[in-house]
Amino acid sequence: MRYPVWIALVVATLFALMGSVFVVPEGHGAIVLNLGRLSRTDIGPGLHFKFPLVETARVFDRRLNVLPAEPERYLTSERKDISVDFFAVGRIENLRSFYRATGGDETIAIERLAPIIKDALRNEINTRTLSEVVSGDRSRIVAGQLAAINRGASTLGVRILDLRIKQIDLPTDSKVIGDVYSRMSAQRKQVASQLRAEGAEQAQRIKADADRDSSVIVAEAERDAQQLRGQGDAQAARLYADAAQRDPGFYAFQRSLEAYRHAFSGGQTVIVVDKNDPFLQYLKSDR
């Protein structure tokens, strides 16, 4: 009769030991509830003991977690509608506050954190223009509101370590896209007009330089030609003078032939002169 009693005592002892021991993994934390009330909090990794049947242990992951959120629509300072997709990286910092605020439910924590983060981003984006939001430094947008986000998150026992903007879109059902395209087209037209004006100015400058260089070249060529003609005329005059001095008769004959050539070059020239005119002396026959 005693043997079954000892077995029952051993089994009861084993169950009591199993119910009084709990393990907290690395990167986790635990709290102990005594009849539903918080007894101990922020219990670190390791092997821990509790009173069986009276105390209950709750273990929570205190590692970094990504808190997803749905894209949210905001208005810029220009009243332009944009859609911002973001995510936050945080962890549980205070287990007591986390349990009291959410009952240990992470889904409730995410639901309460989402409006805090969205409101902070709204405050920052509302003060910036569309160009500053789209092409500016996104880390500055986040850094300006991270402290305010953590003030609200501290009531949940959570700390947000980083907030990242994944994508900024222009909603297809708004007029922003059309306005952006119109502005881009106007900017491109302005750049094109400026480039055309600079090209026309450069073309006029090149043409003016070319005209000046052409005038200089023509003037220098005309000057050189006049010098050469003057030198040729002077040399011809010297040759004629030398010829006249050496043989006056041949010189007169040569000059008369040149006069005939010029006078009758057309082939139909009619000259009426006296038969004894000296102009015709070399055309007369001695016979």
Do 7 and 98 fall within a single domain?
Answer: no
The pLDDT tens digits of the residues spanning 38-49 come to: 888 888 888 888
What's the confidence (pLDDT) of residue 122?
87
Do 42 and 74 fall within a single domain?
Answer: no
pLDDT band at 6 (very low <50, low <70, confident <90, very high): low
Q: How many domains does the structure of the chain reveal?
A: 4
Distance CA 128, CA 141 (A): 9
Contact of 128 with 80, CB cutoff 8 Å: no
Contact of 142 with 128, CB cutoff 8 Å: no
Mean pLDDT of 67-95: 84
Domain span including residue 180: 175-246
Instruction: For CA atoms 163, 164, 170, 173, give the dihedral sign.
Output: negative
The pLDDT tens digits of the residues spanning 116-151 come to: 888 888 888 888 887 777 776 677 777 778 888 888
Do 242 and 253 fall within a single domain?
Answer: no
Do 57 and 69 fall within a single domain?
Answer: no
Q: What is the dihedral of CA 257, 263, 269, 275, to 10 degrees?
A: -60
Do 168 and 179 fall within a single domain?
Answer: no
Mean pLDDT of 159-173: 78
Do 115 and 152 fall within a single domain?
Answer: yes
Looking at 30, 61, 92, which one is the last position of a domain?
A: 61
Do 36 and 117 fall within a single domain?
Answer: no
Do 76 and 148 fall within a single domain?
Answer: yes
Do 229 and 264 fall within a single domain?
Answer: no
pTM of the predicted model as reported, rounded to 2 decimal places:
0.51
Looking at 133, 156, 174, which one is the last position of a domain?
A: 174
Alpha helices, H only, the chain: 2-20, 95-102, 106-125, 130-135, 138-153, 176-246, 248-263
Do 30 and 69 fall within a single domain?
Answer: no
The pLDDT tens digits of the residues spanning 24-40 come to: 898 898 888 888 788 88
> For residue 163, what is the domain's CATH number?
3.30.479.30
- Percentage of residues of the chain with pLDDT beyond 70: 77
- Sequence-distant (6+) residues with CB within 8 A of 102 are 108, 109, 112, 156, 157
Do 79 and 16 fall within a single domain?
Answer: no
Do 135 and 110 fall within a single domain?
Answer: yes
Looking at 144, 174, 204, which one is the last position of a domain?
A: 174
